Chain A
Amino acid sequence: MNSHEMALSSEQLRALYKTMTLIRRTEEQLARAHQMGLVPGPCHTYVGEEAIATGVCANLRRDDVVFSTHRGHGHALAKGVSAREVAAELFGKVTGCSQGRGGSMHLFAPEIGLMGTSGIVGPSILQGAGAGYSFKLLGSDRVSVAFFGDGAVSNGAFHEGLNLAAIWDLPVIFVCEDNMYATEVPFREATPNQNVAERARVSYGMNAVTVDGNDVLAVYQAAQEAVTGARAGKGPSLIECKTYRTRPHAEGMRDGGYRSAEEIDEWKKRDPIATFKSWLIANDQADSDAFSALDDDVQTTVEDAIEFARSSPFPDPATAADFIFSTQE
């Protein structure tokens, strides 16, 4: 880790820590709520992968856009959707960011550039390219980010989307979160070449790097270069982030039969938040008082969010067919 090249202030470094912690604490509470039956549908957590959304979104402006995955709570929170709106959406409440029509897999907050989490693997790559096309056509310097997992890179959307972005020089940052398993299928069994950055470079002539996805500063630095390049008209790039989810594919699912407890424990030792906390202390960027204040602040935010979600009303059943078209039928 090296913060100097990126010219990050202590305040910015602490903000990275705070975002990662917010994602972690929010999801811990959502997982608990799911166990209690308060989240009626699926809940795919991002626990262990928080450094990626945090490091990438810290480089984005409010008007830049993000297209996300089924594991998208972290992307939403890092892009600036409030924990209240995320929690309420998972609870199925009208105060959620999709007013209860989406749930975990369809979080939308276009006003701040969250263009949707998704229940289908692949379309984020294509839609991310499309936003890049819009920005280029409109002469804007906005950029677009497409998040996707290792499970998407053998899908046609990966190849078609990267190819289109490359031939038309679109301002898109493709962020592959390689957590080693597509649901429960190991990446090593899914493709002969698991080097995603190499595939982007060799096949599509794209700038691409591989980083430790559990190192928020490494992700931040790669994203900074990619975003700066895209904004300056240098076209698309890809960041391959090696990471791991330490919870099951989805809450409540059996987590055995495809990976070992030892493997999970090994990755827990590389927890991105604990690692970064140690780095901050070792580099005199924050002391225990500072961490207490940050952690307390996050705790208050998350408790408030869960209480907000719990106490919010459900949507009116009479509105079930609203918003199918741009104008009400």
Chain B
Amino acid sequence: MREITYTEAAREALAEQMAIDPSIFVVGEGIGERGGNFNTTLGLYEQYGPMRLRDTPIVERGFVGMCAGAAMTGTRPVVDFMFIDFILDSMGELLNQISKVQYMSSGRIKMPIVLRGCIGIGGAAATHHSGSYYSIFAHIPGLRVALPSTPYDAKGLMKTALTGDDPVLFLEHKLLLNRRGRVPEQAYSIPFGQAAVVRSGSDATVVALTVMLPKVLAICENLAREGAEIEVIDPRTVAPLDIDRILESVHKTGRLLIVDETFGPCGIGAEISALVMENGFDDLDAPIARLNGLHTPTPYSPTLENAIIPDQAAITRALQDLLAE
């Protein structure tokens, strides 16, 4: 099978669906003729022109609110934020309008909108270009939150985002954008709420979110040489969260570690941990462990930036501690 990058895979799903559905349009800064700062729309402007690839002024609240109105009236906007930090200027439109309109209208209005942007720490982007925020989005009823970690998932989850009728946060970690992976040329979709068991094992379960997945997998290969078989789960979407798959795994392994680059307090790891406690307490042979990035804004200098991310040594240590419990 051919290999393409994460960005190319997501773009392939977008291009494929834009050809099928003339009501899809993309808005953002530099997503028109330029093709996107991260090449998210490269080549599409030439095919579809400015009404469907719409460069905007820098008014996130304005165009997010506008796209809410568009989604309510028969079209399917894709908002391309470049960096997801920029969505914060539009939080009122997102949390008070986009997430609530279907409910407020008792299902009489749909809200098919995709809000995409890159997340995460890396490249000395500093704190206004390194946020992730997915635990905030996942806290809100009415939003779907997709966190693809491979090119295959990026294409399949984007397809699902563009064919459903719900608002979707599609969050792409900046360090994954150029990673290559096997992606089928034909169309396919990955349903939301279906975690992937990326690696099988019986000694412990690790839930690894987005950019942590490749790091965790590499460490598991090392540990396997020492005789420890770790099961690795990628939730792929955190809203909905496939807790059943995680519980099944914990039932088998009795041990759970959640590795997440983002903040610990009120985070996805806290939620998974509570759910496993409520629904799988008797399966646990050790306390659930979490490994998170530091609870701090993101610093610029590489020595500081590296200091706030769970690194290989920290993940290895956390796994060894869990296995020793």
Interface residues of A (CB under 8 A from B): 65, 67, 98-99, 101-102, 106, 108-111, 115-116, 119-120, 122-123, 125-138, 144, 156-157, 160-161, 163-164, 167-168, 321-327, 329
Contact = CB atoms under 8 A, between A and B. Distances in A.
B72 interface: yes
Nearest to B70: A130
Contacts of B105: 98, 101-102, 106, 108, 110, 116, 323
A126 B109 contact: no
B51 A136 contact: yes
Contacts of B104: 98, 101-102, 106, 108, 116
A173 to B, nearest CB: 14
Given A163-B57, A164-B62, A326-B166, A135 B107 contact: no
Given A130-B66, A161-B66, A163-B57, A324 B108 contact: no
A122 B96 CA distance: 12
Given A115-B73, A123-B65, A134-B73, A101 B103 contact: yes
Interface string B84-96: 0000000011001
Interface string B239-251: 0100000000000
Given A134-B73, A137-B52, A163-B62, A326 B141 contact: no
Contact of B59 (A119, A160, A324): A160
Interface in B59-74: 59, 61-74
B66 A129 contact: yes
B25 to A, nearest CB: 6
B77 to A, nearest CB: 8
| Residue of B92, B103, B112 contacting most chain A CB atoms (<10 Å) | B103
A109 B108 contact: yes
Nearest to B167: A325
A80 to B, nearest CB: 15
30 contacts: A98-B105, A102-B104, A102-B106, A106-B104, A108-B109, A109-B108, A110-B108, A111-B108, A115-B109, A116-B105, A119-B96, A123-B96, A123-B97, A126-B62, A126-B64, A126-B65, A127-B69, A130-B68, A133-B70, A144-B73, A157-B61, A160-B63, A160-B65, A321-B141, A322-B107, A323-B103, A323-B105, A324-B142, A326-B107, A326-B112
Given A108-B104, A137-B25, A324-B141, A67 B59 contact: no
A127 B68 contact: yes
A144 B164 CA distance: 25
A133 B56 CA distance: 13
Given A101-B105, A327-B165, 11 more contacts: A101-B106, A106-B105, A126-B66, A126-B68, A129-B65, A134-B70, A160-B62, A161-B65, A161-B66, A164-B56, A329-B240
B110 interface: yes
Nearest to B141: A324
A115 B32 CA distance: 30
Contact of B72 (A125, A131, A323): A131
B113 to A, nearest CB: 10
B69 A115 contact: yes
A324 B103 contact: yes
B75 interface: yes
| Residue of A101, A134, A138, A156 ringed by the most chain B CB atoms within 10 A | A134
Given A123-B93, A130-B69, A138-B74, A156 B103 contact: no
A161 B144 CA distance: 26
Top 4 A-B residue pairs of the complex, sorted by shortest distance between their CB atoms: A130-B69, A126-B65, A160-B62, A127-B69
A62 to B, nearest CB: 14
B124 interface: no
B167 to A, nearest CB: 9
Contact of A133 (B66, B96, B144, B166): B66
Given A108-B106, A138-B23, A138-B74, A164 B68 contact: no
Q: Among the interface residues B54, B105, B144, which one has the most CB atoms of the partner chain A within 10 A?
A: B105
Contacts of A127: 65-66, 68-69, 72, 97
A168 B73 CA distance: 17
A327 B63 CA distance: 26
Contacts of A106: 104-105
A130 B142 contact: no
A134 B164 CA distance: 18
Contact of A110 (B68, B72, B75): B72
Contact of A123 (B70, B75, B92, B106): B92
B306 interface: no
A323 B240 CA distance: 15
B79 to A, nearest CB: 11
* Residue of A120, A135, A137, A163 contacting most chain B CB atoms (<10 Å): A137
A160 B65 CA distance: 10
A1 B158 CA distance: 56
B101 interface: yes
B102 interface: yes
Contacts of B73: 65, 115, 130-131, 134-135, 144
Contacts of B102: 323-326
A123 B69 CA distance: 9
B62 to A, nearest CB: 3
A156 B25 contact: no
